[in-house]
Chains A and B, each alone.
Chain A
Amino acid sequence: SQQGEEDPQALSIQEGENATMNCSYKTSINNLQWYRQNSGRGLVHLILIRSNEREKHSGRLRVTLDTSKKSSSLLITASRAADTASYFCATVPTDSWGKFQFGAGTQVVVTP
């Protein structure tokens, strides 16, 4: 698999439910960042987790990072219809100038 691979590829849930998506990567990283993209629009930064951090919270978002397994998860609690979007993880390899490597994303659909 390629750097920054998310799973599942698609997720369909009801409003109020939690949405969990995972990201795996291959190389050593400085940090991992999650972005959201509404259809045909730009990338909105959600949260950054550093390589020496294990968990981070921001509002309804919870991100974990396990560097031993080279994986991260993004949890959106109490989802809303407005959370419908594609979610991408982006990794910054340690040997880069901040070059992001994106996965293919998880497409989340939240139905009212």
Chain B
Amino acid sequence: EPEVTQTPSHQVTQMGQEVILRCVPISNHLYFYWYRQILGQKVEFLVSFYNNEISEKSEIFDDQFSVERPDGSNFTLKIRSTKLEDSAMYFCASRLGGGQYNEQFFGPGTRLTVL
């Protein structure tokens, strides 16, 4: 069964460093998402991406964040200068498209720890 994959599973970085979180969505999906979940809190939407551009973003997704689909398979989230409060689990998701009724498939997540 096709699935969304994410690498790495755990990333430890120093405050101020840049990190890139990688995701491989399901191959025929058209809509891509990043969410994050701070420990003990709910899952929060960060950004959605369609047709090679951002379609929606939240207030969390400020200038420190960027997304890219550099090739036909990868979807990346870059945090330019990490802060302690960026420590969270980051989930990538993808959706087939074709209307609003399709489920989103989530990856297993990348746990980001900023020291």
Q: Hey, which bits of chain A sit against chain B, CB under 8 A?
A: 30-31, 33, 35, 40-45, 48, 50, 88, 90, 92, 94, 96-105
Contacts and interface: CB of A to CB of B under 8 A. Distances in A.
Interface residues of B, number: 28
Q: Do most interface residues of chain B lie in helix, strand or loop, or is the interface mixed?
A: strand
A88 B45 contact: no
Interface of B: 31, 33, 35, 41-45, 48, 50, 55-56, 58, 89, 91, 93, 95, 100-109, 111
B42 A102 contact: yes
B42 A88 contact: yes
A45 B105 contact: yes
A42 B6 CA distance: 11
B91 A98 contact: no
B73 to A, nearest CB: 19
Contacts of B95: 98
Question: Which of B33, B89, B100, B107 has the largest count of A CB atoms less than 10 A from its CB?
Answer: B100
Given A35-B106, A43-B91, A45-B106, A100 B43 contact: yes
